[in-house]
Chains A and B, each alone.
Chain A
């Protein structure tokens, strides 16, 4: 098992039913913690898996003052575009032509790589065989080639005359080079036939009808046509159900399983309601399709041809499940819907369109993320991310030199030894322009089968505001003196480690004191004693990821939003005061959430 990089996941309140998510309960921190211990967040519960996100994935609604995760956010589509040609597709085109690119962007059916249009040099035809009007002009044809697996559309027998608008040309060709009529052409043909039937010579009509019937039967497998026929048939049935062409209109001949008798029997049981009278009048005798012209598709269960062909082919020439899943609906060959077994029946895949989406808060409907409509522009008009409102937590392992004899060779991500106390430094960075007061709460033992002991050495601390570097330099002198008094650190530069320096010159962790402090960050130490992974019974098996040491931590941050206040009050105001606008013009805000710190894997 690979060692683990420490991570931090935050739980979105949308998955939490308990009332802890709502702020502004006037309770002191300690009683709130006790309450929370009963409802301790268990990161190993199956439900919590869906509510945990790293900080980058979370957005923040400024009006609700709450976190929003990708699950609870409501998305709206700004634009559709093809990921290959980066052309915008108007949403009106989407309804008519589907959600794939209709220009020349295709994916290889074998390896899903991009296909490019290449020209085939056709050899100039033999001059002796040329008819006078051809004149010896070489006709360049084009084909699609994959630049990764070297597949070419010539392997399925498809060549193109023009290098652009490949999608339209592809719709007219089947694998193997035969042509295929699109739905529009089919309609036109049918119209011609019906107009022929109306008048004209009987012989010509008969010949045309025979040819049409033959071609229709040959192309009866076309999915588009079948769907169109079936749809028009059902529409006719719904409009005028009693005008059926067959003579089986009496109830007795149809038996019990026909739809009309079933509906009649059901009406006997549920009869008496007013709204049924309307449906009764509509219900005539309806039937299913009988002939291919009405949309009947006879299943072809005889696969002996396919089996015979399979005997001849190699494994590479058959298609895999991934390749079949990636294929778009094959309009030309519906009997191959997800069942084609040969690689030669796979077709190039048009690219699925991608979208630019804007996100709305589900509660107050304000927009919290809105990209620019233009595809080339990567900026955002509105982008309220949680990272600019919540402190980010980074975790590093702390190896105290000389504390234990063996700590000198520790590498971040090493396995944790059971029963040996380990220290981690958590660094909280403040992104907002006000000072933050942070209160942490963790259960003393981690939930799960193997509880490890957790101690946060400094659960309450302040982080200074994220001011400019110049302001910091001006305030340096003030801070140096005050910091020296409280926790004995040296200067206010970034790298200085706090914590008392023992007599022998080593750093020691002390409860109640922060480890380090900087312009807008504070780091504290968490001590963990990992549990041993001994299984009680011999049949017990360690579940997946049960050896990861995860600490659920409840974080509450409080800050004041000004009207004009200066940053000196926050440390002294009690956490319980709800700050009901007593004329100070400062509004107290707080945000509380559960987060999970994954520290590492315990050695087995």
Chain B
């Protein structure tokens, strides 16, 4: 590609009202992230939101914990089939990673701390995912389902307990990753606060 263009970013369609936000000071949020909705969107300290991630709070509050990483093309808070509007649409614990293309539906959905939501996962409304879980790519969690702590969901819906005991190690690794990402992604929280 020619070096004259810095990036090719087609304009982000502003599809909805601008959401009220409550940001911590140390977060990294890319310029082309999409934050829409009417309820409060909270992002706690040192979290990273990649470009083109969509946080939708039309159906309730979206809360992101500390040191989370939300990758691009994700949707947090999409209104699911049930169409419920609750006070807390989506809550992410600390150290959660939501990977490319995942979609988490709104309706009191809780993701426990240390969990990795894999690429293109679909989490139904009201699901409760425990701590330190791993959802491998393309897993689907039905609405209202509960996943116990330390579970791995893999290969078309199979579950197994994760006994590695590397939760601390993973969280430390995530911290290092966040340090690197903060330098790489130009952050623009001011765009969303005003």
Contact = CB atoms under 8 A, between A and B. Distances in A.
Direct contact of A and B (CB under 8 A): yes
Interface of A: 110-111, 121, 145, 148-152, 154-155, 316
Contacts of A152: 163-164
A221 B32 CA distance: 65
A111 B155 contact: yes
A316 B161 contact: yes
A148 B152 CA distance: 9
Contacts of A148: 136, 154-155
A110 B160 contact: yes
Q: Which of B159, B160, B162, B169 has the most CB of A within 10 A?
A: B160
A316 B157 CA distance: 13
A149 B160 contact: yes
B160 A154 contact: no
Contacts of A121: 169
The 8 tightest CB contacts between A and B, nearest first, are: A152-B164, A150-B152, A149-B154, A150-B162, A316-B160, A155-B163, A149-B152, A150-B134
B166 to A, nearest CB: 8
Contacts of B154: 111, 148-149
Given A150-B152, A150-B164, 5 more contacts: A111-B155, A151-B160, A152-B164, A155-B163, A316-B161
B136 A149 contact: yes
Q: Is chain A's binding surface mostly helix, strand, loop or mixed?
A: loop
Contacts of B136: 148-149
A145 B169 CA distance: 14
Interface of B: 134, 136, 152, 154-155, 159-164, 169
Nearest to A145: B164
Given A148-B136, A149-B136, A316 B164 contact: no
A299 B194 CA distance: 78
26 contacts: A110-B160, A111-B154, A111-B155, A121-B169, A145-B164, A148-B136, A148-B154, A148-B155, A149-B136, A149-B152, A149-B154, A149-B155, A149-B160, A150-B134, A150-B152, A150-B162, A150-B164, A151-B160, A152-B163, A152-B164, A154-B163, A154-B164, A155-B163, A316-B159, A316-B160, A316-B161
Nearest to B155: A111
Contacts of B134: 150
Nearest to B150: A150
A112 to B, nearest CB: 9
A110 B154 CA distance: 11
Contacts of A145: 164
A150 B118 CA distance: 13
A151 B158 CA distance: 13
A149 B159 CA distance: 9
Nearest to B165: A154
Contacts of A110: 160
A316 B154 CA distance: 13
Contacts of B160: 110, 149, 151, 316
Contacts of A155: 163
A148 B162 CA distance: 11
B129 to A, nearest CB: 15
A150 B170 CA distance: 12
B175 to A, nearest CB: 16
Contacts of A316: 159-161
B164 to A, nearest CB: 5
A119 to B, nearest CB: 10
A111 B160 CA distance: 11
A160 to B, nearest CB: 16
Contacts of A111: 154-155
A438 B88 CA distance: 71
A221 B132 CA distance: 40
B167 to A, nearest CB: 11
A277 to B, nearest CB: 64
Interface centre among B134, B154, B161 (most CB of A within 10 A): B154
Nearest to B168: A121
B155 to A, nearest CB: 6
A430 B152 CA distance: 54
Chain A CB count within 10 A is highest, among B134, B155, B169, for B155
A151 B159 CA distance: 12
Nearest to A118: B166
A145 B160 CA distance: 15
A395 B152 CA distance: 46
A121 B134 CA distance: 21
Contacts of B159: 316
Nearest to A120: B166
Nearest to B136: A148
A149 B163 CA distance: 11
A459 to B, nearest CB: 49
Nearest to A143: B164
A574 B79 CA distance: 73
A122 B155 CA distance: 31
Contacts of B164: 145, 150, 152, 154
A374 B129 CA distance: 49
A351 to B, nearest CB: 19
Nearest to A314: B161
A397 B58 CA distance: 48
A154 B136 CA distance: 21
A152 B169 CA distance: 15
Contacts of B155: 111, 148-149
B115 to A, nearest CB: 12
Contacts of A149: 136, 152, 154-155, 160
Nearest to B137: A148
Contacts of A154: 163-164
A121 B165 CA distance: 11
